[in-house]
Amino acid sequence: MPIRLPDSLTSLRAYVPGKPVEEVQREFGLPDVVKLASNENPLGPSPMAAQVIAEWARFAHLYPDAGCLDLKSALSEHLQVPSDQIAIGNGSDELIHLLSVLLLRPGDSIVMADPGFSRYESEAIVAGAETRKVRLDPEARHDLEAMSKAIDATTRIIWIANPNNPSGTIVRETALEKFLDEVPHDIAIVLDEAYFEFATDSEYPSSTRYLKDRSNIIGLRTFSKTYGLAGLRVGYALAPPEIVQALDKIRPPFSVNSLAQRAAIAAVGDTAHLRKTIDTNAAGILQLTQFLTAKNCNVAESFANFVWCDIGCLADPICQALLRRGVIVRPGGIFGCPNHLRVSIGTRDEMRRFEDAFAEVYGAVTAV
């Protein structure tokens, strides 16, 4: 007799990661492949973090600090948030998982944007909860009014990725605060700020602002994006102390490895690398937005390190043709938007590779 799996899992799809460079090199026999599909940092990790990783390699035989105390205190000082309001995880992915385990039970529901970050729904399915997806507005922003209407007595978590993945758009302060006032205060509102440091708009609200006065707000951040440590897996939650304690109770004690903890501390202190990352990205966003707009693509205003655009025709064949030219981007079909592309910002050279390949491939399609 086969082992019985829960029925709820039949609707669960495995996460589709960006295609690895090595796979495209092998498949198409290309020596030089550019990956603009996973919103990674094209400048690499902070050099200070890389040095610390090398230094701490000789302690790899020891278990890491289960409480991540040094990293919590570095973040506490950096963000001016008490340590007891910071939970560390194996990437913010682990914190999305743990929050879902903590707060969701069969019969509960979550509310999220559509298209939005797929992990919220996957974790809800595993917990037996329902997902209510609310279409983005015509500017590809969260439709907070419609999200408000999707809430009922079963709703336990509202996920707001700010900036949103895949659209890169933000929810601004006034709209967010109106929403926070309206929503019942026993529903957790998670502001997923994976791209926080890129969002330099003056009306962009930081979750830290709400930690003191609103007990249902949880912020999520990561070292995978601006800090360039995606391969080490470290992220954090900013939350009321009782939520942090609960997360720390259910987290596997050593899920954040020692090199990740040390590298993250060093990265927090490397303001030069952070500045360079943000500046390179801002120039890339501007250039790519202008390039795609000039091609008559409909580009969403991005506050992250990627651009989301409607190219007016099926994106899958375009992505395949780009792959054959050694450029990996994300087709929108996996987000339910078959005419969309998501392109991460790379170095200037990488962006030129994309632009040349896209002009060739898209020119051929639109000329027909």
Ligand X SMILES: Cc1ncc(COP(=O)(O)O)c(C=O)c1O
* DSSP H helical ranges for the chain: 21-28, 47-56, 69-79, 91-103, 118-126, 144-150, 173-182, 241-250, 258-269, 271-294, 315-324, 348-367
As given in the structure block, the two tokens for residue 110 are 């979550």
**In Å, what is the CA distance from 160 to each residue of 43, 190, 207, 241, 294?**
28, 6, 11, 21, 31
Nearest residue to 36 via CA among 353, 365, 361, 364: 353
Q: Candidates 34, 125, 161, 265: give the one binding ligand X (CB under 6 A).
A: 161
Q: Is 302 in the site for ligand X (CB under 6 A)?
A: no
Q: Which of 108, 121, 123, 192 binds ligand X (CB under 6 A)?
A: 192
Tokens of 7: 């029925």
Residue identified by tokens 């087709």 is 331
- Which of 147, 194, 264, 311 touches ligand X (CB under 6 A)? 194
Asked if 216 interacts with ligand X (CB under 6 A), we say: no
**Contact region for ligand X (CB under 6 A) — 90-98, 146-154, 290-298, 322-330?**
90-98
CB 175, min distance to ligand X, A: 19
For residue 197, the SS3 value is helix
Closer residue to ligand X in complex, CB, 117/358: 117
Determine the Cα–Cα distance for residues 114 and 136; give it in Å rounded to an integer: 6
Nearer to ligand X by Cβ, of 119 and 357: the residue is 119
Note whether 100 and 157 are within 8 A (CB). yes
CA nearest 352: which of 306, 284, 254?
284
Class of residue 187 by CB neighbours under 10 A (exposed 0-12, middle 13-18, buried 19+): middle
**Contact flag: residue 165 with ligand X (CB under 6 A):** yes
In the chain, the N- to C-terminal Cα span, in Å, equals 56
Closest approach, Cβ 195 to ligand X, in A, equals 7
From candidates 45, 235, 240, 332, binder to ligand X by CB under 6 A: 235
Residues 97-126 as x/- pattern, contact with ligand X by CB under 6 A: --------------------x---------
Stretch that binds ligand X, among 69-77, 88-96, 270-278, 347-355 (CB under 6 A): 88-96
Of all residues in the shown chain, the one whose CB is closest to ligand X is 91
Residue 47 phi/psi, 5-degree rounding, is -60, -30
Contacting ligand X (CB under 6 A), which of 155, 224, 277, 280? 224
Q: How far apart are CA 223 and CA 197, in angstroms?
A: 10
CA distance 137 to 143: 5
The one among 100, 167, 222, 339 contacting ligand X by CB under 6 A: 222
Q: CB of residue 92 vs ligand X: minimum separation in angstroms?
A: 4
> What minimum distance in Å lies between the beta carbon of 199 and ligand X?
12
Residue of 71, 85, 93, 273 that binds ligand X (CB under 6 A):
93
Identity of the residue, 39 or 277, whose beta carbon is nearer to ligand X in the bound complex = 39
Nearer to ligand X, 229 or 357 (CB): 229
Edge-to-edge order in the sheet of strand 298-299: 298-299, 306-310, 340-344, 330-331
Among 126, 230, 313, 321, binds ligand X (CB under 6 A): 230
Smallest distance from ligand X to CB 196, Å? 10
By C-alpha distance, which of 216, 259, 253, 255 is closest to 238? 216
Span interacting with ligand X, options 86-94, 99-107, 136-144, 314-322, rule CB under 6 A: 86-94
Least separation in angstroms between residue 70's CB and ligand X is 19
Residue numbers at the binding site for ligand X (CB under 6 A): 39, 91-93, 117, 161, 165, 192, 194, 222, 224, 230, 235
